[in-house]
Amino acid sequence: MGNSVKTVLLLGGLSALLLAIGELLGGSGGLMVAFVIALIMNFGSYWFSDKIVLRMYRAQEVGPDHPLSRVVARLTQRAGLPMPRVYVIPTLSPNAFATGRNPQHAAVAATEGILRLLDEQELEGVLAHELSHVKHRDILISSIAATLAATIMMVARMAQFAAFFGGGRDDDRGGSNPIALLATVIFAPLAAVLIQAAISRSREFSADAGGAGIAGSPYGLVNALKKIEVASKQVPLEANPATAHMFIIKPFSVSGLLSIFSTHPPTEQRIRALLHLA
């Protein structure tokens, strides 16, 4: 199954889960209030994402003569994209991300550590991956997923308060089901987080493939991922968990059962998929 199809199905799953909760609880008013609140929060973040995250990591904009800008300019021409703003993040931990609400308002940032670590072909692979995120509007997709997931969590929290105070709706079917209410409170937020993480992982695979196409070869990104995986453990990035999904590699490692909540696929899986493209 293609990653784009998988993303659509997962977003559909989030929407279906939200509708099912609304039907179960019957609180259409509360459901709408939660959705509007989540919409305002997440699309406010979406609209100003570039300014927020760049300021968070103290990113410094660089001019067209900087080596990073020259590589980005070359890749944007190949990808048929407008030239984004280019930033360097003052940390030795190797990583990179792209942000911005659309290709006309995009920014690409790379850490000093990644510029020191990678050769030009490897850096091209990383930046092409980030430009693929821009080209396919992954910031918008992640914002939609975050809005749906946040709404589900808010509605589940409302149900939790209703259960705590002995509330719940009384309707023509004889009232609310306490077991269904408890299951909603426990499992709906968990399912939302799992689906949201799966959407993020799907977009990472798509960006890897798209980046390989822009760069003209998957090998630069393959070698870069190997180097970054090792070096980022030696010099970890102090990242906000809310922005972890944006980076080329997750800033902090997740293993075992917790990996199902990870916003990134295991690096070995990404490398295998890239080599399969070759």
Is the Cβ–Cβ distance between 211 and 130 less than 8 Å? yes
Instruction: Give the pLDDT confidence of 98-125 residue by residue, as tens digits.
Output: 998 889 999 999 999 999 999 999 999 9
Question: What does the pLDDT read at residue 29?
Answer: 66
Q: Is residue 122 among the annotated active site residues? A: no
E strands within 35-178? Answer: 60-61, 85-89, 96-99, 107-111
What domain range is 202 assigned to? 3-277
- Inform me whether the pLDDT recorded for 174 exceeds 90: no
Q: Considering the chain, what is the average pLDDT of its residues?
A: 84
Question: What does the pLDDT read at residue 248?
Answer: 95
Question: What does the pLDDT read at residue 149?
Answer: 80
What's the maximum distance between 2 C-alpha atoms anywhere in the chain?
71
Name the region of 58 (left: φ>0; alpha: ψ -120 to 50; beta: rest). left
Rounded Cα distance between 155 and 20, Å, is 11
H/E/C letters for each residue in 105-132?
A: HCEEEEEHHHHHHCCHHHHHHHHHHHHH
* pTM (predicted TM-score): 0.81
E strands within the chain? Answer: 60-61, 85-89, 96-99, 107-111
Q: Which of 48-52, 194-198, 230-234, 265-269 has the lowest mean pLDDT?
A: 48-52
Question: What does the pLDDT read at residue 172?
Answer: 46
SS3 of 80, please? coil
> Looking at the 3D structure of the chain, how many domains does it have?
1
Instruction: Give the pLDDT confidence of 123-172 residue by residue, as tens digits.
Output: 999 999 999 999 999 888 887 887 778 777 777 777 666 656 655 444 44
Question: What does the pLDDT read at residue 52?
Answer: 85
Higher pLDDT, 116 or 242: 116
- Inform me whether the pLDDT recorded for 89 exceeds 80: yes
Q: What is the mean pLDDT of residues 42-53?
A: 76
SS3 of 259, please? helix
Which residues have a Cβ under 8 Å from the Cβ of 116 and sit 6 or more positions away? 92, 94
- Inform me whether the pLDDT recorded for 74 exceeds 60: yes
Selected catalytic residue, list 130, 204, 238, 268: 130
Question: What does the pLDDT read at residue 171?
Answer: 47
Q: Which of 53-62, 143-152, 262-271 has the lowest mean pLDDT?
A: 143-152
Q: How confident is the model at residue 173 (pLDDT cuts 50, 70, 90)?
A: very low
- State the angle between helix axes of 138-164 and 120-135 in degrees (0 to 180), rounded to the nearest 10: 60
